[in-house]
Amino acid sequence: MEVYLDNAATTKVSKDVVLEMTNALKNIYGNPSSVHFKGTEAQEEIDKVRKIIAKKINAEAKEIIFTSGGSEGNNFCIKGIVKASKKKHIITSKIEHASVLNTCKQLELDGFKVTYIDVDKNGLVNPKDVEKAIKKDTALVTIMHANNEIGTIQDIEKIGKICKKHKVLFHTDAVQSFLKEKIDAKYIDALTISAHKFHGPKGVGAVYLRQGMKVDKLIEGGKQEFNLRGGTQNVPGIIGMGKAVELWKENKMKDLRDYMIKRILTEIPGTKLNGHKTKRLANNINISFDDVEGEVVMLHLSYLNVAVGTGSACHEKMIKVSHVLHAIGLDKKSAIGAVRFTLSPFTTKKEVDFAIEKLKTVVQTLRKVKT
Ligand SMILES: *Cc1c(COP(=O)(O)O)cnc(C)c1O
């Protein structure tokens, strides 16, 4: 048996998505910008996907722009909005994805000021802290919807309303939450999604940009995507992404998540759940194991055909603790001992049971070696 519990990193492309994409590669080969029948056919196909995505977040099809994925989407929304603005201040949180944090850091070098909001011990941003940080010069608030490491879900409706009240634009990285959580674009000005996080292909995604907003282009080129993103669209990728959205099913992921959390916490001593108990992605389990290193647990589980994630990464003798686990106040030992298990709608109880049995053996063995 092979068990894949790293669905926050990426997901397996669904069979039906592969079929749809194969067909697109073979037949929908026109350039959407071409005016002849092969071009208009491709344009019509990707416009269908625009509608499918827009509908999921209560937006308009013309507010959806295709990108190469989550990282480009975050770069585009953040740089595009603040560079088109005269204001020079940005608000974000300390637990954002690298594609947001590093974009902000780069903008600081370009003369922008950035406020990095603290989170509480569960990884929650207090919307009041966002309100307090807003200044006359604030161009954008960018706060992720759900965190990729600990699964904590932010109250983006409340944050969005605060931004609206103060006439500040609001972007959210919804790469982890799209389809798993309800999203209403009414409260949001810009949002990022990525197909490979929901059983679509890698290298394709989309952003929602509220109609009428001033946004600078990230990629110069032709007038594709309403003149907001140059370059010929990834037609098969976009078609695959559309299929993946349609195929997504609400299922018992949450029950399986809670089952797994309960079993680990009760059957393995010296364990603690990281992140919020209830305001949490349906597929996320992040647990710190005392007296072991998450990275080592991950490698041992990998030998046993169980793929999981960690927050820390070993670089020779240095262990770099994840900025997210640091921000929620975990001590270094707990942060190093963290392991992330992320489920998919296709994960079965049998797979979870298999992973737990292997996990118990690995943690027990590693702890014995240590003492
Ligand atoms: C994966 C991820 C991204 C980056 O998406 P890519 O398509 O891999 O570039 C951004 N934000 C979050 C929260 C993610 O989980």
Question: What is the SS3 assignment for 364?
Answer: helix
Ligand 1, from 197, 198, 207: best to mutate by most atoms within 8 Å of Cβ? 197
Q: Which residues line ligand 1 (CB under 6 A)?
A: 69-71, 74, 97, 99, 144, 148, 173, 175-176, 194, 196-197, 205
Alpha-helical segments (H) within 85-223:
98-109, 127-133, 156-165
What is the mean pLDDT of the segment spanning 293-305?
97
CB 144 within 8 A of CB 183: no
**Dist. CA 309–CA 301, nearest whole Å:** 10
Nearest to residue 141, comparing CAs of 183, 83, 89, 68?
A: 89
Q: Give all strands (DSSP E) within the chain, no chain letters.
A: 3-4, 64-67, 89-93, 113-117, 138-142, 169-173, 190-194, 205-209, 271-273, 284-289, 306-307, 309-310, 313-315, 318-320, 338-342
**Dist. CA 179–CA 188, nearest whole Å:** 16
Would you place residue 319 in the very low, low, confident or very high pLDDT band (cuts 50, 70, 90)?
A: confident
Is pLDDT of 317 > 80? no
Q: How far is the CA of 142 from the centre of ligand 1 (A)?
A: 15
Would you place residue 283 in the very low, low, confident or very high pLDDT band (cuts 50, 70, 90)?
A: very high
The per-residue pLDDT for range 233-251, each reduced to its tens digit, is: 999 999 999 999 999 987 8
Q: How far is the CA of 338 from the centre of ligand 1 (A)?
A: 20
Token readout for 195 is: 């197909």
**Dist. CA 170–CA 129, nearest whole Å:** 15
**Dist. CA 171–CA 90, nearest whole Å:** 11
**Dist. CA 349–CA 242, nearest whole Å:** 28
Residues noted as catalytic: 314
What is the mean pLDDT of the segment spanning 106-133?
98
Residue 313: its pLDDT value, please? 59
- What is the DSSP code (8-state) at residue 121? T
Residue 222: its pLDDT value, please? 97
The ligand 1 atom at the shortest distance from the C-alpha of residue 10 is: 1
What is the mean pLDDT of the segment spanning 316-329?
85
Residue 211: its pLDDT value, please? 97
Decide the pairing of beta strands 313-315 and 318-320.
Answer: antiparallel
Would you place residue 170 in the very low, low, confident or very high pLDDT band (cuts 50, 70, 90)?
A: very high
Ligand 1, from 103, 104, 176: best to mutate by most atoms within 8 Å of Cβ? 176
- What is the DSSP code (8-state) at residue 248? -
Q: What residue owns the CA closest to ligand 1's atom 15?
A: 148
CB 314 within 8 A of CB 295: yes
The per-residue pLDDT for range 43-93, each reduced to its tens digit, is: 999 999 999 999 999 999 999 999 999 999 999 999 999 999 999 999 999
The ligand 1 atom at the shortest distance from the C-alpha of residue 70 is: 5
